[in-house]
Structures are given as structure tokens and as C-alpha cells.
A and B are shown apart, each in its own frame.
Chain A
Amino acid sequence: MKSSPIKAAVFWLAVILPLGWGVYKSASKSRPLFQQAPASTTR
């Protein structure tokens, strides 16, 4: 008995989508750091 690859894809999407949302939110939150970085590295 073989497992359906579509089923596997659906299962993976169910976890990748919320994880991707969390990563996106964290990456968005970190943007101000990169905007700050050039000014702080020069003394």
C-alpha cells in the first residue's frame, strides 16, 4: 500500500504555511535593525 504524494503535500503545507507566516512576521519585525545598522557601525 503506497501513501499518496498529494496527501504528503497537503500535510506539509498545513505546517509550512503557519511557519512561513511566523518567519515573515519575525523578518518584518527585524527590519528596523537593518535600517539602524549603517549609522551605528560608523563611530
Chain B
Amino acid sequence: MFETFPLWPARASTTAGSVDALFIFLVALSALMSITIFTLIVVFAVRYRRRRGVPAEQIEGSTPLELIWSIIPLGIFMVIFVWGAVIYFKERTPPRGATEIYVVAKQWMWKLQHEEGQREINELHVPLGRDVKMILTSQDVIHSFYVPAFRIKQDVLPGRYTTAWFHPTKAGTYHLFCAEYCGTQHSGMIGQVVVLEPAQYEAWLSGGGAAGSMAATGQNVFLQLGCATCHRSDTQGRGPNLVGLFGKPVQLEDGRVVTADENYVRESILAPGAKIVSGFKPIMPVFQGLVSEEQLNALVAYVKSLNQNPSGAAGGPAVVPSGAKPQEQKVQ
């Protein structure tokens, strides 16, 4: 609304529209309920104010009325519940093929890394009109990634990944806030999300000093830490083959079946004994304390990339063109 005195947040994502629609409905409903009750109270207060010789009429109650004004509100509430749930369901289900951004929160800054390798601090550049999925973790305490203009918020936890996604619909610069109290500079953990037209975004992407895509970095870490010794692309390895693994169900040796998502990959590196794959021995070393959050993110990105580049795990140095175009997300 007004520049210096806004009364409504910018609406810059597909979600924002749906959230605002429900909000406006609720405002209208609340206004209606409030005005009705206030009016009734005022009318009764005036009409039934104390007058000599006019006693109050003792009314016990009315069960039909009680039922009506219990059941009708309940019905309305259920409508609101379903409406809100539908929006939430969409918010919690990132679409396939989204651009992925890895976010590491720490006291008191946001570290963001694009798949292509670009790193940003407290600022996130994204292209207009494309799904963006964030994979978030914290290095210390609980934070929360909040972009009011997109109407999204997701707590960022230490020790695991959480995800959030959005689809920007309007170019511009929008506030990024930390929304979970995290200490001294909680209110200073502020940044911005910059939504660029696709062409500008490409330009931005290629202009930076990217040190290689995350998957390429991940491959380097993979080799450095000796992962390739056991995790080979053939069936001779002492560890499971990682090609084509990501996103698929995995049978564990105690009978459970889990999905190989980001948290599974992360846990397998930091606490490999927690889930042993069926048919393998529990001999993987523990890497807790030996990898940073950024390295973990790169390894996750690398494992994801193996779904498209089967020869990636077989060793051999990766050739990484700098400033890779977004279409060529996976590199050898």
C-alpha cells in the first residue's frame, strides 16, 4: 500500500495469493461475527437497560439454540480447516524439478549456495517464474527462514534438513527474516531475496566467481575422504552402490524400508550405524566432526547428481567448467 506505511505485505509468490484469499475470508468472517455480537450487545444494553417496574425475564436456556450455535460454527470451522490444510499440503510438497538451494543458518547469518556453486550470504537471487526448493539446516540453534512476501516460513534445525519451496511471481527485492529466536542478533539475521527476470538471473549466475557446481565440489569431497574406496559403481564395493540411489526406497538390514532422501544421506555420513543397508556390514567409519555443513550439502548434491551421471562414482577427476549454465545442472 503506502511506501512508508504499508498495511499489506507484497504478494510475490503463487502461495501468497492462496494465503491472502483465506486470510481475507477469515477477516470478513471475523468482522461479521464481531459486528453481529457487538451489535446484539449494544442493542440489548440499550433496549433492556434497567427501567422501573420492568423486571428481567428469567429464561432457562434453549437446547435447540445451543445446538445450532455449536454445530454451525463447527461446520464453518471445518471448512476453514480444510481450506488451510489444502494450502499447507501444497506448501509442504515441493514440486519435482525445482531449482535447489542449500541453506545453512548460523548465529547470526544465512549462508546460501546454489547448485551451480554460487555462494551468497544473507542474500538469495532466484529466477522469476521457476520453482525453487530450499534444503535448510542449522549449524547451531534453531532458526527459521521467513519470507513474508512469499508467505513461507520453515524452521531450520541443527542436525537435520528441513525443506521449503516457493514459486516467485513478481520481480523485486523482498525481506528475509529469521523467525525463530536464536540469541543476541536474532533481529539482525535479516537479508533479502532478489527475484530476477530469467535473463538477468542467467547473467547474475555466470557473473559470479563460482568455484564449480555443488555436485562437482561434492565429488571432490567424496574422493578426498576416500568414499570411493567402498562405494563403487559395480557390485564389488564394501558399501552400497550410490548410483541411482537418491529418492529410491532402501531396504535395511533390520527389515525396515526407508527412502533415500537428504536426511538419509546426511545421517549415513554422520552416523552410519543408525541404518545398515541389508546385505552390508556395519563397517562404515563415522564422519561426524570430520565434515562441515557445506561439505555435507555438497555431498548430498553429488549423490543426487549420480541419478543422472552413472559414471560419476567410478572415480576420475571431474572437469568443471566455471559459470555453468543452469540447464546443465549435473556435471561430470
Q: Is the pairing of A and B real?
A: no
